Each structure stands twice: as C-alpha cells, then as structure tokens.
Amino acid sequence: VDGRAREVAEAAFGETVGLADFVTWSEWSLARVGFRPSNCLAVVDVCRDELMSPVEEAIEECWGRAFQVGSLAGIVLTGRTGMQAALSHVPGEDGRHRFVAFCLPHIGIDADGTVGHVQRRGMHRASAACGALAAVRDRWLAGEQGLDPDRILDPDDIEMSLLWRRLSARLDPAEAPSLAELTVLTRDVAVDDLDRHIRLATGAEPVDVACISGVVVHLPDGEDRIAGVLARVTIDGVEHPLPH
C-alpha cells in the first residue's frame, strides 16, 4: 500500500475505509434497522468506468444482483420511469419495500499523489479517473460555463451533455473547480437526484430507503478505498442517520 496516495486521499476527502470493510459495515449496520439482502433491492450508482467493477462485484456479492442507475461519472439519469421499474423488482416479504442505494463516484490517485490519475493494467501512462469529470473541468476551463446548457445538448453525447448541464449550474463561474470538488459535487447531486426519482416513482405502497454515499478512491496497486461516507435510512418517511 502506498502511503503517499492514501495521505492525499484523506487530506482531500477525510477518513477512508477499505472496500471489503465498507461492504461488511453496510450489511451489519443495515441489519439493525431491518434491511437485509433478502428483503432489499440494491440500487447501484457508479460511473461506467470498468475500474468500478470490483466495487460493483463486492456490493452484489453481499446484497445480491443490483439495479444499475449510474451514467458517466455516476450522474443519475434513471428518472421516474426507471425507478418505477426498480420498484417493481423490490421484494416485499413483510409488506414493506426496501431499497439500499449506493452512490459512489470515483477518483484515482497515483503513487506520486497526483489526484485524478490512475495506473491501469497494461497501460504505460497514467490515465484519468474520473475521465468524465476531467472533461467537465476542461469545459469549465474552455469557458463553456456561461453557455445556455440547453443549447449544447448533443444527441451523440447525451450523458456528457446532461452531466455538464447538471454540474455547471452548481459551479462558481469565477473559480475553476478541482477534480476533488467535482467528485464530491457529483456525489451530492447524484444523491439528490436519486432521492427525487424514488419519490416520484413511489405510489401508494411505502418504500423505505437506505442511502449510502461516498467517493471511491483508486490507489496504486489496485487498492480501492471509500472516502467521505455518508449514510442514512428513511423508514416510514422519517430520516435517521446511519452511524459508521
């Protein structure tokens, strides 16, 4: 384990936890509030990057097959219709429906401590993670901040157009966002959007939702850690923090 990269991660995002411990914690802490793999549908919001496969696999190993809601960078474009579909897959053994949602945007940190870089297998040079958020930053630097986002909806680049539209509205026009800031912002808007889509999809039957979010940090040698974990459950419409 490279100490430098982890130090940089914790300076940027706070305390980190290893992937296996993170998943184990999600299982035992949710069991105490009645969420078990047998009575929940896992909803996973992660970037499309194949670097996220180990995280998806670890979650599915514990929580079972997941409903995928992530687009580029982990922005949530599922909408009411997508969440209605997910809702119709939720087990309801005791008359209650439960989602356990994981919103986990990602970032790489290389052995030199460079934020946004990741060394991929078989590639000589470091590449960007998250590449989509690096592209958002490039757009900001290119001065696209002031453009009407509705006019730049590119049919051949829909996810990127909508990612830019969603994030740029929240960016300071005077100060370039760092990749770390964009990653945290993506987590925040993804949680908001997922919450709203679930609310819009919910019909007469109540749905209890556990929402766990954080930033996946890809460290050297393929080590993934989760930083800045936030977790809460909403049961019968009442929100409770989930200690971790």
Interaction site with Zn ion (CB under 5 A): 47, 49, 130
Q: How far is the CB of 160 from Zn ion (least distance, A)?
A: 11
Q: Which residues contact 99 (CB under 8 A, 6 or more apart)?
A: 40, 41, 42, 43, 86, 90, 198, 207, 208, 209, 210
Separation between Cα atoms, residue 6 and residue 17, nearest integer Å: 11
Q: Which residue, 207 or 214, is less far from Zn ion as judged by CB?
A: 214
Tell the smallest beta-carbon distance from residue 105 to Zn ion (Å).
7
Compute the half-sphere exposure of residue 154: CA atoms within 13 Å on the CB side of its CA: 7
Q: Decide whether 41 or 73 has the Cβ nearer to Zn ion.
A: 73
Output 99 or 102, the one with its CB closest to Zn ion. 102
Using alpha carbons, select from 122, 161, 125, 127 the residue that is nearest to residue 144.
161
**Closest CB to Zn ion among residues 110, 208:** 110
- Least Å distance between CB 159 and Zn ion? 11
Identify whether the C-beta of residue 78 lies closer than 8 Å to the C-beta of residue 103: no
User: Which residue, 194 or 216, has its beta carbon nearer to Zn ion?
Assistant: 216
Task: Please state the closest distance from residue 227 (CB atom) to Zn ion, in A.
Answer: 15
| Shortest reach from residue 92's CB to Zn ion, in Å | 34
At CA 84, angle to CA 79 and CA 88, rounded to 5? Answer: 150
